[in-house]
Structure 1
Amino acid sequence: MIRDDIKQAQIAAMKAGDKESRAAISLIQAAIKNRDIEARTQSNAPDDDALVVEVLQKMKKQRTESIQMFRSGGREELAKAEEAEVAVIDRFLPKQLDEAETAAAIEEIKADIGAVGMKDMGRVMAELKARHGSVLDMSKASGLVKAALA
């Protein structure tokens, strides 16, 4: 489980005296704990790894946006700190599908649900997220789905 890997990495970072990794992992654990609390009220809570991957993807997206803002504002030292956190987050995310694998998944889903045009984009995106959401960047997939349905 990803949660166990994160705990082991926290222990290893503490033993090694790696303050930057330890701090980033602590942030990850706090975000996961917050998401666990939110999930308690939901009747259909996702499985554990899916929940953790969702949290990690959200954290990575936030930091990527921050890096862009820091760079445009001339704050390179803050951008580097965010990049270090992204590197730690990436250690725990499952390998993402590349563009060819994503295109193949889209074609399979199109065939399965009989999607033919742009009116089916929502259905294709929903099915793509359900099948491959944990190993796929949905913002990049959106453009590929649009191209496949056009």
Structure 2
Amino acid sequence: MADSALKNQLTEAMKDAMRAKDKARLGTVRMALAEIKRIEVDERIEPDDSRVLSLLEKMIKQRKESLRQYEEAGRTDLADIEQAEIAVLQEFMPAALSEQELDAIITQALSDTDAKGMQDMGKVMAAVKPQVAGRADMGAISQTIKSRLSNI
């Protein structure tokens, strides 16, 4: 089975962090690799790049939520750790889409699915998701699609 390029990139980053004795970066990269390994063991599959990407996206989302909670509680020490982990994980994510690119993808999906209203939300999301995976916040995209569908 072929390894995912993203998993190989994470492995190389782990080796580089070991050589540089960068404990914070090493810990974050190892945590991501451990999650990939958990999927390999639990599901007996070799995750492809899209699966690894969604895993990294989930990890970033979890850290953003923790960051928000730590900031609300005034725990800047813990918030700084979460922020550092987010920065390391985002290095492995593809470049974010611009507003114009997102708008074009959503417009194309609306026309491709022949969406007539809110009942077509699922079809539009299904068309958009593969194109924007890891490159945009799905919550924001969902809100944009809802507002566009409610105006149809």
Deviations 1:88-124 (A, max 9, x none): 0001011122222111101101111101211111111
Q: Which amino acid aligns with 2:77?
A: E
- Map 1:111-126; keep pairs closer than 5 Å: 111-126=111-126
> Structure 1 residues 60, 46: closer, same or farther in 2, change over 3 A?
same
Shift of 1:21: 0.3
Residue pair 1:60, 1:89 contacting (<8 A) in 2 also: yes
> Structure 1 residues 77, 53: closer, same or farther in 2, change over 3 A?
same
Q: Which amino acid aligns with 2:33?
A: Q
Aligned to 2:81: 81
After TM superposition, the score normalised by the length of structure 1 is 0.90
> Structure 1 residues 99, 131: closer, same or farther in 2, change over 3 A?
same
Q: Which runs of 5+ in 2 are unaligned?
A: none
Q: Aligned equivalents of 1:121 and 1:38: distance in 2?
A: 32
Aligned to 2:35: 31
Q: Which runs of 5+ in 1 are unaligned?
A: none
**Higher helix residue share:** 1
Residue 58 (1) aligns with residue 58 (2): yes
Residue pair 2:40, 2:47 contacting (<8 A) in 1 also: no
Q: What is the percent sequence identity of the aligned residues?
A: 36
> Structure 1 residues 128, 39: closer, same or farther in 2, change over 3 A?
farther
Residue pair 1:96, 1:137 contacting (<8 A) in 2 also: no
Shift of 1:46: 8.7
Q: Which amino acid aligns with 1:30?
A: A
Q: Aligned equivalents of 1:33 and 1:118: distance in 2?
A: 39
Aligned to 1:17: 21
Higher alpha-carbon deviation: 124-133 or 20-29 = 124-133
Q: Which amino acid aligns with 1:29?
A: L
Q: Which amino acid aligns with 1:89?
A: L
Q: Aligned equivalents of 1:33 and 1:104: distance in 2?
A: 36
CA-based RMSD: 1.6
Q: Aligned equivalents of 1:46 and 1:141: distance in 2?
A: 29
Q: Aligned equivalents of 2:46 and 2:113: distance in 1?
A: 24
Aligned to 1:104: 104
Aligned to 2:140: 140
Q: Aligned equivalents of 1:20 and 1:140: distance in 2?
A: 30
